């Protein structure tokens, strides 16, 4: 199977034939601007030392400072981080915020580390990359297995190393340390805004729909809460340990609480179990992949019965599966649009930190919905013109915006009178 970065390149090649973008811009977007690979020393609580490999890939700063999360996962590779960084570049352009794309990661299973060791690892990683990040340079955020606490440590260590107080160096912090209201639910909320808009365009609604969700962390669990509040039923869900299903509807509030307390689905009693891969093909109207990349492939795409796929995860669908699903009339709301709510509210957090303002949760959610609905309209308009599916339409919109911001773009004559 192709790697995540190869899949990014495949999508760019498909779009380059249809987008109104010259080949220089396309070539530029295919290669990350900077790649940092670091060796991170960490002292274990038992006194031993270990070294972990970490990355920070700064893919594009054409439209603004680099922006992107940090992932802690044993399967992290440079190729994966490159793809995640490139998708951030596309995403920030799709939602039209003045930021570029980056991503970071450490190949580690944080569940093997105590909280003190996780803090030590985060501070050590920050020490390794602190010269290359900053409020106007590159602004990290949480991703898989990193949380507001991780970002608080990163901001604190960055401040200590630079002798500054700079909450704007990272987003996704706790509220007490300069985080924004609504950042915790932003990814799911932005996705639901897009889902509602597409359903509305189809003369349909979320109420009464059956939903299957792969992954029950920040993105998946919040999506479960929001779709349930809108009258839909979550019929299948999984985490990394097990998958459960109930056609009458899973008890979402109870599961959210259980996961927040550190519970694992495999330890749940009284639920009917399904094979983890069957969450994707479960009889549902809406499928929400909210775990890792490369889940919907040419092998299982034909068995997907959902009419809508809301990609809260990054890169869950391969280009081959994407084409298959589009030809079957399944609406795929692509990651670069559907999960952009997280980076939009990260942008709001950054603005609040730089201006010393505090916005209420209502203000944040209202502004988030405005940005998401406008982005959806831009993408939907392009999709209608070309009938290429929402992913390629989103890439068209993004690549045209990035190309227009390149220094080589056509000059605009400014004449003073």
Compute CA distances 253 → 362, 376, 378, whole Å.
22, 29, 35
Question: What is the rounded distance in angstroms from the CA atom of residue 332 to the CA atom of residue 353?
Answer: 35
Question: What is the rounded distance in angstroms from the CA atom of residue 334 to the CA atom of residue 368?
Answer: 18
CB atoms under 10 Å from CB of 384, counted, come to 10
| Cβ–Cβ < 8 Å for 128, 372 | no
H helices of 148-251, in order, are 148-162, 186-201, 218-229
Q: Identify the sign of the CA torsion 257, 262, 264, 267.
A: negative
Q: Which of 91, 103, 209, 259 is catalytic?
A: 103
In the complex, least distance from residue 89 CB atom to ligand NAD, rounded to whole angstroms: 14
For residue 106 the two structure tokens come to 């450490």
In the complex, least distance from residue 343 CB atom to ligand NAD, rounded to whole angstroms: 7
Residue ranges binding ligand NAD (CB under 6 A):
142-145, 187, 214-220, 238-240, 276, 290-292, 312-314, 339, 342
Q: By C-beta, is 19 or 88 nearer to ligand NAD?
A: 88
For residue 354 the two structure tokens come to 């730089």
For residue 152 the two structure tokens come to 């608080």
In the complex, least distance from residue 399 CB atom to ligand NAD, rounded to whole angstroms: 20
Query: Pick from 217, 226, 313: which is nearest to 262 by CA?
Result: 217
In the complex, least distance from residue 24 CB atom to ligand NAD, rounded to whole angstroms: 29
Q: By C-beta, is 321 or 403 nearer to ligand NAD?
A: 321
Question: What is the rounded distance in angstroms from the CA atom of residue 379 to the CA atom of residue 340?
Answer: 13
In the complex, least distance from residue 379 CB atom to ligand NAD, rounded to whole angstroms: 17
139: CB partners within 8 A, 6+ apart: 65, 66, 67, 99, 133, 168, 169, 170, 171, 346, 350
Q: By C-beta, is 26 or 391 nearer to ligand NAD?
A: 391
Q: By C-beta, is 157 or 239 nearer to ligand NAD?
A: 239
Q: By C-beta, is 76 or 330 nearer to ligand NAD?
A: 76
User: What would the DSSP string read from start to end of 45-93?
Assistant: TTS-EEEEEEEEEEEE-TTSSEEEEEEEETT--HHHHHHHHHHHHHHHH
Question: What is the rounded distance in angstroms from the CA atom of residue 383 to the CA atom of residue 368?
Answer: 22
In the complex, least distance from residue 150 CB atom to ligand NAD, rounded to whole angstroms: 11
Q: By C-beta, is 64 or 142 nearer to ligand NAD?
A: 142
Question: What is the rounded distance in angstroms from the CA atom of residue 187 to the CA atom of residue 237?
Answer: 18
In the complex, least distance from residue 149 CB atom to ligand NAD, rounded to whole angstroms: 13
Q: By C-beta, is 144 or 310 nearer to ligand NAD?
A: 144
Residue with smallest beta-carbon separation from ligand NAD: 217
Question: What is the rounded distance in angstroms from the CA atom of residue 62 to the CA atom of residue 115?
Answer: 37
259 is catalytic: no
Q: By C-beta, is 304 or 313 nearer to ligand NAD?
A: 313
| Cβ–Cβ < 8 Å for 152, 184 | no
Question: What is the rounded distance in angstroms from the CA atom of residue 223 to the CA atom of residue 290?
Answer: 9
For residue 139 the two structure tokens come to 């602004």
Compute CA distances 40 → 127, 141, 359, 388, whole Å.
9, 19, 36, 44
In the complex, least distance from residue 44 CB atom to ligand NAD, rounded to whole angstroms: 23
Which residue matches tokens 């890939």? 57
Task: Tell me the β-bridge partners of 333.
Answer: 310
Distance of CA 52 to the CA centre of its chain: 24
Kindly list the catalytic residues: 103
């Amino acid at each position: 199977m192709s790697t995540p970065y190869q899949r990014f390149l495949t999508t760019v090649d498909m779009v380059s034939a249809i987008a109104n973008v010259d080949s220089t811009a396309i070539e530029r977007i295919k290669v990350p601007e900077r790649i940092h690979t670091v060796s991170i020393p960490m002292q274990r609580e038992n006194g031993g030392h270990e070294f972990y490999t970490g990355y920070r890939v700064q893919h594009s700063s054409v439209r603004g400072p680099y922006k992107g999360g940090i992932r802690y996962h044993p399967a992290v590779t440079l190729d994966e981080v490159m793809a995640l960084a490139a998708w951030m570049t596309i995403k920030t352009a799709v939602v039209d915020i003045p930021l570029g794309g980056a991503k970071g990661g450490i190949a580690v299973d944080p569940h093997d580390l105590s909280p003190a060791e996780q803090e030590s690892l985060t501070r050590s990683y920050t020490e390794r990359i602190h010269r290359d990040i900053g409020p106007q340079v590159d602004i990290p955020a949480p991703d898989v297995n990193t949380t507001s606490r991780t970002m608080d440590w990163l901001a604190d260590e960055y401040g200590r190393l630079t002798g500054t107080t700079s909450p704007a160096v990272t987003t996704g912090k706790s509220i007490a340390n300069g985080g924004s209201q609504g950042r915790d639910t932003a990814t799911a909320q932005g996705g639901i805004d897009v889902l509602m808009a597409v359903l509305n365009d189809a003369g349909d609604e979320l109420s009464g729909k059956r939903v299957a969700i792969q992954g029950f962390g920040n993105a998946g669990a919040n999506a479960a809460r929001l779709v349930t509040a809108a009258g839909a039923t979550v019929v299948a869900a999984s985490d990394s340990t097990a998958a459960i299903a109930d056609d009458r509807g899973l008890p979402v509030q109870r599961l959210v609480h259980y996961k927040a307390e550190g519970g694992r689905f495999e330890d749940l009693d009284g639920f009917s179990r399904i094979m983890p891969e069957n969450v994707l093909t479960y009889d549902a109207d809406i499928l929400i992949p909210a775990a890792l990349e490369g889940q919907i492939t040419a092998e299982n795409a034909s068995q997907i019965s959902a009419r809508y796929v809301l990609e809260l995860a990054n890169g869950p669908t391969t280009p081959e599966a994407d084409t298959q699903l589009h030809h079957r009339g399944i609406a795929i709301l692509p990651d670069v649009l559907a999960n952009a709510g997280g980076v939009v509210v990260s942008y709001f957090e950054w603005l609040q930190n730089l201006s010393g303002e505090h916005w209420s949760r209502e203000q944040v959610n209202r502004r988030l919905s405005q940005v998401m609905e406008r982005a959806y309209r831009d993408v939907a308009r392009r999709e209608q013109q070309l009938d290429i599916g929402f992913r390629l339409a989103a890439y068209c919109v993004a690549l045209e915006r990035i190309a227009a911001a390149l220094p080589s773009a056509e000059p605009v004559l400014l004449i003073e009178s």
